[in-house]
Amino acid sequence: MRLTTLRLAALGAAVLVPATVLIAQDQLLAQAPADPAPIEEQLDPNPSGEQAEPTAAERSAAPRDPLEIYSDLNLFGEIFDRIRSEYVDPPNEQELIRAAIQGMLTSLDPHSGYLPPIEYADMREDTSGQFGGLGVEIIMEEGLIKVVSPIDDTPAARAGILSNDLIIEIDGQQVQGMTQDEAVEKMRGEVGTNVVITVFREGVDEPLEFELTRGIISMRAVRWSMEGGETEGEGDIAVLRLSRFSEQAFVGIERAIEDIYAERNGVPPQGIILDLRNNPGGLVDQSVYVADAFLNRGAVVLTRGRSDNESARYDAAPDPLDARIADVPMVVLINGGSASAAEIVAGALQDHKRATLVGTRSFGKGSVQSIISLGPDGAMRLTTARYYTPNNRSIQALGITPDIEVRQVVPEEFKGRDEIIGEAGLDGHITVEGQEEASVGSSVYVPADKAEDTQLQYALRLIKGEETDPAFPPTAE
């Protein structure tokens, strides 16, 4: 069930003939009253037969003459030439043209845009979920890079780098003074190239030096833990945190469920909590696969574009994975940062009564973007369709409302800064005729400490039966 690339609709020209009502003069006279009106009222108001000038609304509705369009392009060329010849400093012509292309695309909506070659390469790496690197998860601590954990079966893990190691040098350059992003950039690189990492390890007198060969690293899209017990990380309820819909999303869900059953010797968990909070979305096909992991039939998402070729329906199908967890109760956590592909999954599971949604209203991005390669010149991101949930709901600029609204306890220092309106707050966002839009914010705050996570703790109590609500478990109609 692979999502096909949405094709751009060809630009077509149509001739709009204004509807004009013509009334014969003899009909007017036949209907005249017995006492004729003054002569000036009987005169034809348009004796010449000439058409009135079209209104501004009529002009905008009618297609423009191609000659007018090319005239505008001539205007662009004239301005471009004047900049080249008269600007105070010689400009970079390529950057000028790319800026003009970017301006044209971003004028359409907040999600269309131009991707120069470097940004296009970064985007492909981001969506693939793979890159050339060492395989360490890190955080910045007191100006140094601390290894949270090496990723299994990566150059870092095989070389013996351990959790809590402090990276102090990369290729002989001190890390102190670098930002975390700068350090990550130095550790990433072309697969097969070498990098020297110097680390300080507690209990070891001298710094340790490792020469590593960069390999293909798959970013972990899914993390899981068992919760609901007396201590964190213990219990009978599986919590799956899906951070992004990269190409690793469905694989991550599948592996997580396999690992959970393996750890429990085949015993199903008491419940599953799918955490989609602050998930910005990603690949639409991955959202279909992830939803299908929990559904055995029915539509997952509907897309509609300008032509039939851009409109489609994507369905779930029975498979061993969804059969294995069919009887396991499910809660999905969402908030103001749950967008796009995350909303597709949440909407599908809500419409099919497979899961109860807990949290706050989602972001409200209900449009699909196609990435169109421009060869060596990068790519363009173009909005080509709107998507709808299985029940034909558009969430564009409105978002998905949870079945049970649960708000976080926000620390005083974050209050007033933890809420976003979402898509409805973006300038130039696509509108849906006749549909209301979000006008108040939705929180994106999620505490790092699970014990203080009000939404997660409520979901755990809901599954354990310590909280009750008519929305859980959902009842299929």
State the residue for tokens 């909070």.
277
C-alpha span between 230 and 326 (Å, rounded): 27
| Residue 340 is a catalytic residue | yes
| Residue 365 is a catalytic residue | yes
| Cis amide leading into 473 (omega within 30) | yes
C-alpha span between 148 and 414 (Å, rounded): 26
| Residues in Cβ contact with 198 at an 8 Å cutoff, skipping those fewer than 6 apart | 167, 168, 169, 170, 172, 207, 208, 209, 210
C-alpha span between 87 and 438 (Å, rounded): 44
Would strands 271-275 and 237-242 be described as parallel, antiparallel, or unpaired? parallel
Q: Which of 287, 322, 365, 403 is catalytic?
A: 365
Q: Which of 126, 236, 351, 377 is catalytic?
A: 351
For the residues of 381-393, what is the DSSP string, one character each? Answer: EEEEEEEE-TT--
Would strands 299-304 and 312-315 be described as parallel, antiparallel, or unpaired? antiparallel
End-to-end CA distance of the chain, in Å?
A: 26
CB neighbours (10 Å) of residue 20? 7
For residue 114, the 8-state DSSP code is E
CB-CB contact of 107 with 138 (8 Å): no
| Residue 351 is a catalytic residue | yes
Would strands 419-420 and 442-443 be described as parallel, antiparallel, or unpaired? antiparallel
Q: Which of 112, 218, 338, 340 is catalytic?
A: 340
- Crossing angle of helices 341-351 and 284-294, rounded to 10°: 30
C-alpha span between 129 and 218 (Å, rounded): 6
- CA angle in degrees (0–180, nearest 5) for 231-237-243: 95
For the residues of 303-363, what is the DSSP string, one character each? Answer: EE-SSGGG-EEEE----HHHHHTTTS-EEEEE-TT--THHHHHHHHHHHTTS-EEEES---
Collapsing DSSP to helix, strand or coil, 200 comes out as strand
Residues belonging to the active site:
340, 351, 365
